[in-house]
Structure 1
Amino acid sequence: MDKLEEIMAHKREEISNRMRPVRESELERLGRLADQRPAFAKSLKRDGGLAVIAEIKRKSPSAGEIKILPEAAEQARLYYNAGADAMSILTDEKFFGGTLRDLWEVTDFISDAKRDIPCLRKDFMVHPLQVVEAAEAGASCILIIVRALTDDEIRPIHEAAQIAGLDALFEVHNEKEVERTLTHDPKIIGVNNRDLARFKTDLEFSERLIPMIPKDIIRISESGIFEPEDAHRARACGADAVLVGEALMRAENPEELISVFHDIDSV
C-alpha cells in the first residue's frame, strides 16, 4: 500500500463514523450563502505575477513536524498581513496535524479582519458530507485529488460543491489524470509536484503537465516551491498561482517571500 492509499483508507474509515445522506436542499441553502464567502478562483487572477496560496500545515508524512502552532489563526494573521491571495488549511489530523476547527478559526479571523481572502479546505475528499462541512466552516473551495477517486466518486463531490457555491481544485499527478479532469469541466487544476505514492518532489511535474491544461482554466503549481527560482520555473511553464506550505510555515518573514513570488512574471 502506498502512502496515498494508506491516507485514503484511513479517511474512509474516519468519515464512516459520521456518514449520512446529504440532501440537495441542504446544499442549496449553503449555496444561497455563497456570496458571503470570497470567490477562490477569482482571487487567483492577478494582473501579472503569480498569485500565492499560503498554506497552514503543521506536519506532513514527508517533512515530519514543520511548526508547532497552537492556533491556526496565528499563522493566518501572518499570511493576511503578507498579502496572500488565498489560504489553504489542512484539516486532516492524523497525517497533517490539522482539524476542521482550524478552518473555522481562520475564516472567523478573516471575517473579523474584513478583507476578502478565500480559503481552501485541504483534505482528502471521499463524500459530499465533507463539502457541507467545508461550506459551513466558511471555505470557498475544496480539494479533489483525482488519483484518489474514480470518476463516479468525483461527480457527486463536485456537484455538491457547485450547488453549495464552492469552487473545486482538481489535483493531478500525470497526463491521464489531466485528461480525466478535463471531462469534469474544471475551473481550477493544480499540479502536485509531490508524488503522493512516495512523497518525493520534482517541479518537472508542473513543467510537463501545466502546458497540457487550457489557458482558460486556472493553473496552479503545488508543493516544492521554496525559492524564487522554483516560482520562476512554475511561472515559466504557465502557472497562474503557486501553493506554498512548508517554506512559508518555516519562514521568519512570510511577507518578504510572498512579495518576491508576487513579483515573478513569465520569463
Structure 2
Amino acid sequence: MMPSAAVPSASTSYSTSHSLPVMRRWRSYFQSARRVPAVSRASGSPNPPGPDGEPPKTPINALEATIRRKQRELETTIRELGMEALDERLQSATQMPLNPPYRLSTLIAESVPQGRAVLVFEVARSGSETTTADLAELAKAYVTQGGASALVVRTDSEATPSGLRDLFTVQQAVPRVPVLARDWLIHPLQICEVKESGAAGALGIINQVTGRGTGVMSSFSAALGLDAPVEVVNAREVEQLAKLGVVFYAINVAVGLSVSMPGFSNRIAHGLLGELPFGAISLVGVRSLEEAAAARRSGADALLVKAELLQSYGKDVQALGNALQYAVTLDD
C-alpha cells in the first residue's frame, strides 16, 4: 500500500530539458520497430505457472494482431504528419502540462490513508446500438449511484466508432471526476492526443508490448501531468521498471492473468502487489466481486472495475455500488 505522499512527479521521472533527446530516441525506436515485440502473458493455456509463481509464457495471437493494427494506424498518421511536425507536437505538449496534474494518483494518495477504496469504473459500449450520449448517462450513474471515484473510457477503434469523442463527452458529463482513456499505447503521439482531449490519464502502456520504450512512454506521460500506469505481469518487470523511475503500476488490466485454475489471477496479483517498490501506486483490474475483495485484501490502492462486471448488473447501478462497497470494505 502506498504512503500518502506518493504521487508521480515530472521532476523526478522526466526532465523537460532532456525531452527532445528522449523523443528522438523513441522516434528511432519506433521507426526500426517493424515487428511486434515479443508478447507473453497468462492466458487460457493449461500450462502451469512459471518459476516464482509467474504466469506461464504463451504467445498471444489476438494481442499481437491488435498491436500490429495499431502500428499500421500510427505509421499512416505519422507519415501524413511528418517527422518534423511530430517532433514539434511532442515538444510543445511538454510546455503546457495538465493543470491540475496527476488527478487519479492524487485522489488515491488522499483516499488510501483513510482506508477508502478507490473504484475506477470502465465505461464501455455494450453493443453497436450504444451511443456517445448513452455513455455520458452511464458515466453519471456510475458516479452518483455506483460510487465510482474515477472512470476509464475505451477509445480504441475496435471498441467504439467515435474514438476520443466518447472520452471528451464523458469528461463533460462528470467534470469533477478523473477520466482516463483506455487504448493500446505504443507511441508518445497517442499520449499527446489523450492530453489534448483533456483526459486525466491513460491506460494501455504494457511493458511486454512496448519493451525498451516503456520508460519513455511513462516519463513522457508524467511530463504532461498524466497518470499512465504501466501494466506488468511478473516481478522481473517490476524490478526493471522501478530502476527507470516508474511509480504507477497496473495489474490484470489488458494483459489478463487468467488461466483455467481457480484463484490463479488472485494469487498472481497478490504476489505482484507484494513486489512493488515502497511508495508505488497500484491499479488492479477485476471482473468479479471475489476478485475485487481479494485485490483489496492484498493491498491494491485502486481497482479497475471492468465492463464485464458492470454490465452483469444491467441498469441496477445502485445494487452494483452496494455490492462493491461491501466487497472492498476491510475489517478493522
TM-score range, shorter chain: 0.7 to 0.9
Work out the CA distance in 1 between the residues paired with 2:136 and 2:177.
13
Describe the shift of the 1:211–1:165 C-alpha distance in structure 2 as closer, same or farther (beyond 3 A).
Answer: same
Task: Tell me the residue number matched to 2:14.
Answer: none
Describe the shift of the 1:3–1:180 C-alpha distance in structure 2 as closer, same or farther (beyond 3 A).
Answer: farther
Describe the shift of the 1:22–1:166 C-alpha distance in structure 2 as closer, same or farther (beyond 3 A).
Answer: farther
Larger strand percent: 1
Normalised by the size of structure 1, how large is the TM-score?
A: 0.83
Task: Tell me the residue number matched to 2:66.
Answer: 7
Question: Is the 1:142–1:168 Cα contact (8 Å) retained in structure 2?
Answer: yes
Describe the shift of the 1:181–1:69 C-alpha distance in structure 2 as closer, same or farther (beyond 3 A).
Answer: farther
Q: Over residues 106-141 of structure 1, what are the superposed CA-to-partner deviations in whole Å (9 max), with x where a residue is unaligned?
A: 112223xxxx21112111111111111101111111
Q: Over residues 29-83 of structure 1, what are the superposed CA-to-partner deviations in whole Å (9 max), with x where a residue is unaligned?
A: 431xx12567111122422132100001236xxxxx5x85212212211112133
Structure 1, unaligned stretches of length 5 or more? 60-64
Question: Is the 2:248–2:280 Cα contact (8 Å) retained in structure 1?
Answer: yes
Question: Is the 1:147–1:172 Cα contact (8 Å) retained in structure 2?
Answer: yes
Using the TM superposition, give the Cα deviation of residue 181 of structure 1 relative to its aligned residue in structure 2, in angstroms. 2.4
What are the within-5 Å matches in structure 2 for residues 132-211 of structure 1?
A: 132-143=192-203, 144-151=205-212, 153-192=213-252, 195-196=255-256, 202-211=265-274
Task: Tell me the residue number matched to 1:49.
Answer: 116
Q: How many matched pairs? A: 251
Task: Tell me the residue number matched to 1:236.
Answer: 297
Among 271, 277, 283, the alignment partner of 1:220 is: 283
Task: Tell me the residue number matched to 1:35.
Answer: 99
SS of the residue corresponding to residue 203 of structure 1 reads helix
Work out the CA distance in 2 between the residues paired with 1:193 and 1:167.
15
Using the TM superposition, give the Cα deviation of residue 197 of structure 1 relative to its aligned residue in structure 2, in angstroms. 9.4
Work out the CA distance in 1 between the residues paired with 2:250 and 2:181.
14
Question: Is the 2:181–2:202 Cα contact (8 Å) retained in structure 1?
Answer: yes
Describe the shift of the 1:210–1:244 C-alpha distance in structure 2 as closer, same or farther (beyond 3 A).
Answer: same
Q: Over residues 171-229 of structure 1, what are the superposed CA-to-partner deviations in whole Å (9 max), with x where a residue is unaligned?
A: 112222222322232232111166459887832321221111134111121133x22x3
Larger helix percent: 2
SS of the residue corresponding to residue 225 of structure 2 reads coil
Question: Is the 2:253–2:304 Cα contact (8 Å) retained in structure 1?
Answer: no
Question: Is the 2:221–2:227 Cα contact (8 Å) retained in structure 1?
Answer: yes
Question: Is the 2:104–2:227 Cα contact (8 Å) retained in structure 1?
Answer: yes
SS of the residue corresponding to residue 174 of structure 2 reads helix
Task: Tell me the residue number matched to 1:257.
Answer: 320
Work out the CA distance in 2 between the residues paired with 1:75 and 1:13.
32
Task: Tell me the residue number matched to 1:62.
Answer: none
Structure 2, unaligned stretches of length 5 or more? 1-59
Identity across aligned pairs (percent)? 25
Question: Is the 1:141–1:166 Cα contact (8 Å) retained in structure 2?
Answer: yes
Letter in 1 for 2:311: M
Work out the CA distance in 1 between the residues paired with 2:282 and 2:219.
21
Structure 1 residue 107 corresponds to structure 2 residue 171: yes
Larger radius of gyration: 2
Work out the CA distance in 2 between the residues paired with 1:108 and 1:43.
19
Aligned-pair RMSD on alpha carbons? 2.6
Work out the CA distance in 1 between the residues paired with 2:254 and 2:266.
8
Question: Is the 2:229–2:283 Cα contact (8 Å) retained in structure 1?
Answer: no
Question: Is the 1:191–1:205 Cα contact (8 Å) retained in structure 2?
Answer: no
